[in-house]
Amino acid sequence: MSTLLGFDFGPRKIGVAVGQTITTSASALTTIRSRRDKPDWERIGRLMQEWQPDGAIVGLPFNMDDTESLIAPQARRFARQLGGRFGIEVHLVDERLTSLQARRQLGRRATAVEEIDAMAAKLILETWLTDKGCLPLLEK
């Protein structure tokens, strides 16, 4: 069984989820706020240590016309850094509309934006788990 962490990258905050390949399911974990416009690598490191994932899935933002969004290069950089820092395989998956879907699923239960980001990470991870990767693996 492989444990994976999923990330909904944003310049100011990153949603995180955990899932397993055997059940192809995921659970929203938390949202991590960036520090000085950079990912909070210390907090991410604690999650890595706690869950000891075999890999990670990072959402790659696309526009509805199939072009990458303006923050896609930042998401790719985050994914490369994640793989390099923690020595794990990192996959990218199209995250289009996951935040909207997360808002719909949470409905009135969403009491904070952070819940939406963590739920979006869950949806990103579940997308990869069911599709087994929509985009190529990043090189380490």
Determine contact, residues 92/76, Cβ cutoff 8 Å. Answer: yes
Average pLDDT over residues 78-94: 95
| Complete domains list, the chain, with CATH | 3-131 (3.30.420.140)
Model pTM? 0.85
What is the rounded CA–CA span in Å between residue 20 and residue 9? 20
Q: At residue 96, does pLDDT exceed 50?
A: yes
Q: Taking a C-beta distance cutoff of 8 angstroms, is the pair 16, 33 a contact?
A: no
Share of the chain above pLDDT 90, in %: 52
pLDDT on residue 133: 46
> pLDDT tens digit string along 12-43?
999 999 999 888 889 999 999 998 889 999 99
59-73: pLDDT as tens digits: 999 888 888 889 999
Could you give the percent of the chain with pLDDT greater than 70? 80
How far is 94 from 113, CA to CA, in rounded Å?
Answer: 21
Do the beta carbons of residue 92 and residue 138 sit within 8 Å? yes
Given a contact cutoff of 8 angstroms between Cβ atoms, the answer to whether 47 and 56 are in contact is no
